Amino acid sequence: MADPEIKSYEPVHENLSAAVTESRSARTVLMTIAFVFLGIFLLLPLVIVFKEAFAKGVGAYFASLNDHDTLSAIHLTLLVAVIAVPLNVVFGIAAAWAIAKFEFKGKAFLTTLIDLPFSVSPVISGLVYVLLFGAQAVLGPWLKSHGIEILFAVPGIVLATVFVTFPFVARELIPLMQEQGNGDEEAALSLGANGWQVFRYVTLPNIKWGLLYGVLLCNARAMGEFGAVSVVSGHIRGMTNTMPLHVEILYNEYNAVGAFAVASLLAGLALVTLILKTILEMRYGAELAATRGH
């Protein structure tokens, strides 16, 4: 088959490469469709958030942010993320270690269960905790007699957030650690390292960028979750209102500048998340899991 004569047809081969793309007009049409679609559905919503936030000037923007209820919503959102994200990081690392480093029965089933929260409506994610801890619920009366508040309080908001952000870190780490295999760890063990040392000095450096990637996505969802948190929070102003819930309250009060000012902070967070995520993909693409997105 490797006939030397074929080489003389090289120019023809290049013509064929041109046949592997669409005609100029088809390309223009496809690109126009893609850009118009993304422009309408992605760019315009983002632009309108900042436009509405600054509709009455910079002064009004900062004045609406410097409000007691808004500040307490920001505080609560940060608090919830600071508790929920590390919990899911510990779980993500433990689950990835067990699933990626060992072969055992029921592994595929366990992986499916970890993904479960993604296919549950956020509202149902909140509802399950209301059924568990609410006044009419199994644990409700017992909790009440012991003065423990879970529902309509911070613990409930944290639980609902943990539920919806549950898979993020594990999903990023499992394929990554499976790809990397056990070779490095086995080498370290044979050189006399103990289990903790193997994790700290061998595995963690290998997975650090993937871990950061998972944390980034987990945090974005934790700070932005609306449905699940809305069900368990009770919407007590200045007490159990997170930023997304506060956006809703302000919006329903026809306080557009206030609502969009808080929304602009969340949109800023989303943009920062996207920028960091892109940097990670560009710089350390090889050290992230092969599967992109989620």
Partner 1 sequence: MTTTPAQAGWRFKQPSVIPGFGLTLGFSLVYLTLIILIPLAGLVWRSASLGWVDFWRIVTADRTLKALEISFGTALIAALINVVFGTIVAWVLVRYKFPGRRVVDAMVDLPFALPTAVAGIALTTLYAPNGWLGSLLMPLGIKVAYTPLGIIVALVFVSLPFVVRTVEPIIEEIDKEVEEAAATLGASRFQTITRVLFPGLAPAIITGFALAFARGVGEYGSVIFIAGNLPKVTEIAPLLIVIRLEEFNYPAATAIAAVMLAISFAMLLVINLLQTWSRKRYG
Sites for partner 1 among residues 181-240 (CB under 8 A): 182, 185-186, 189, 194-195, 198-199, 217, 220-221, 223-227, 230-231
Which residues lie below 8 Å from residue 237, measured CB to CB, with a gap of 6+?
Answer: 69, 249
Integer Cα distance of 189 and 192 in angstroms? 5
First to last CA, the chain: 44
Tokens 């919806």 belong to residue: 164
CB atoms within 10 A of CB 104: 8
Per CB under 8 A, does 2 bind partner 1?
no
Candidates 67, 69, 179, 248; binder of partner 1 (CB under 8 A) is 248
**Region binding partner 1 by CB under 8 A among candidate stretches 11-19, 60-68, 144-152, 207-215:** 11-19
Integer Cα distance of 43 and 257 in angstroms? 20
Residues 47-106 that bind partner 1 (CB under 8 A): 48-49, 52, 90-91, 93-95, 97-98, 101-105
Candidates 61, 152, 163, 209; binder of partner 1 (CB under 8 A) is 163
**Region binding partner 1 by CB under 8 A among candidate stretches 25-33, 61-69, 146-154, 205-213:** 25-33
**Region binding partner 1 by CB under 8 A among candidate stretches 21-29, 63-71, 142-150, 204-212:** 21-29
**Region binding partner 1 by CB under 8 A among candidate stretches 36-44, 56-64, 68-76, 145-153:** 36-44
Integer Cα distance of 268 and 272 in angstroms? 6
Per CB under 8 A, does 46 bind partner 1?
yes
Per CB under 8 A, does 282 bind partner 1?
yes
Residues 102-141 that bind partner 1 (CB under 8 A): 102-105, 110, 113-114, 116-124, 127-132, 134, 136, 138
What six digits make up the tokens of 68?
Answer: 């007691």
Integer Cα distance of 21 and 24 in angstroms? 9
CA angle 176, 209, 116 (to 5 degrees): 50
Q: What is the smallest separation between the CB atom of 41 and partner 1, expressed in angstroms?
A: 5
Sign of CA dihedral 202, 203, 209, 212: negative
